[in-house]
Amino acid sequence: MDARNILTSNRRELFIGAGLTAAAGLLSACSREAVSAEMSAPAAQDGLARLDLRENPWGCSPEAVEAVLAHADALHLNRYAGDEKQALISHIATQNGLTDDQIVLGNGSKPILSAMGAVLARKGGDLVTADRTYKVLYESAEAFGANLVQIPLNAEHDWDFATMADKLGPQTCGVYLCNPNGSTGRLADHETLKAFVIQASEFAPVVVDEAYIDMTPDYPNNSMVSLVAEGRNVVVSRTLSKKHGLAGQRLGYAMGPPELVELTHKLLTNHVNRAGLVAGLASLQDTGFQSEMVTRFDAGRARLVRLIDAAGFDYVPGTMHNGVSFNAGMEVEEFHKLMMAENILTPAKGDPRFPGMTGLCVGTEPDMDRLETALKKIVAA
């Protein structure tokens, strides 16, 4: 059948017939029924409960799906993105009190952070961060010549801002923070974080990774984006892979000084997933869906904490993203193997610096029921 005929007869078949599995996956995972009612089927077609990557197990906004379907005739998925990209940039800028030249888009936030690491390291110097946080930016910076200065988290699993401040100086090429911290889920005290970011930005650019900030109480007031709007040497990155449920569409963005945004953009492809751009804009505009997801993640996180606590694992308290970090009391690879035997996918590898430390993320109710049974079995063994 000619693609034009497919478009005319059935837009859904366009995505499948054209072999665009990402768009087809978006449709199947983001139906209105999947969001408005609890899923009763396994989380994935392979039967696994996927509790390893902190995805949104309930799918994305129905408005995002409808936007893609409504624009299917005009999307021309054989072409690179055009006006859709500018529409999303302008929305993000307006929403955050910024200008368009302060926004850079990427196929997920990971390539943006990787490019930013290279930008910060271009003249050498110290990249200051923690020893336990999301690795992409600091690994990129180190690969491009930066000297990595990693400060251990404190006893409460929080950033040690005082010690980090002591490491700042003319040799500093950048500072990387993640809030909530991707490795622990802990949310930094807003005023303490803000004071440190202002101080550090006098020495070098400060990148604040806010992948999970929109899951936290008092969002957006606890974001650092106001410092970007003030013209400080601060970059804030975000993703639509987590709360927005668009992981398969790969869409992220960063906000910062125009000169840093321009340098970062030069290291990225100029082309972003076209269907993802349309879905992303619709999701950012769907405040009802966002509120519902915060409620769901709060409830799911509370249950996850109860299950891990009942299993007797030592866990990081106060997590504010969609998972819980804990010590499995065994090698991470062994825990992964035991959970896979129960059809539950968990992180396959740990960090040798932190033996036994792994994590689980929030799943659907059937996923969590399966996890509860599996944990009881492991503890009893």
Same domain, 263 and 295: no
Confirm whether 118 is domain-assigned.
Answer: yes
Confirm whether 195 is domain-assigned.
Answer: yes
Whether pLDDT at 17 is above 70: no
Same domain, 277 and 351: no
Same domain, 278 and 327: no
- Predicted TM-score (pTM) of the model is 0.88
Same domain, 281 and 294: no
Q: Which helix (H) or strand (E) holds 327?
A: strand 323-327
Task: Give the end of a domain, one of 285, 315, 335.
Answer: 285
Q: Of 240, 136, 226, which Cα lies nearest the Cα of 178?
A: 136
Cβ atoms of 220 and 214 closer than 8 Å: yes
Confirm whether 76 is domain-assigned.
Answer: no
Q: Which helix (H) or strand (E) holds 323?
A: strand 323-327
Same domain, 255 and 347: no
- Would you tell me how many other CB atoms lie within 10 Å of the CB of residue 285? 15
Confirm whether 8 is domain-assigned.
Answer: no
Largest CA distance in the chain: 66
Same domain, 243 and 366: no
CA–CA separation, 330 vs 6, rounded Å?
A: 53
CA–CA separation, 106 vs 121, rounded Å?
A: 20
Confirm whether 230 is domain-assigned.
Answer: yes
Same domain, 176 and 296: no
24-28, 141-145, 266-270, 294-298: which range is least confident on average? 24-28
What whole-number percentage of the chain has pLDDT above 90?
Answer: 81
Could you report the per-residue pLDDT of 310-348, keeping only the tens digit for each? 999 999 999 999 999 999 999 999 999 999 999 999 999
CA–CA separation, 9 vs 163, rounded Å?
A: 63
Q: Which amino acid is at 164?
A: M
Task: Give the end of a domain, one of 224, 254, 285.
Answer: 285
Domain range spanning residue 163?
83-285
Whether pLDDT at 13 is above 70: no
Same domain, 179 and 305: no
- Please state, rounded to an integer, the average pLDDT across all residues of the chain: 89
Same domain, 103 and 221: yes
Sheet with strand 357-361: strands edge to edge: 314-315, 323-327, 357-361
Whether pLDDT at 61 is above 60: yes
- CATH number at 224 reads 3.40.640.10
Give SS3 for 342.
coil
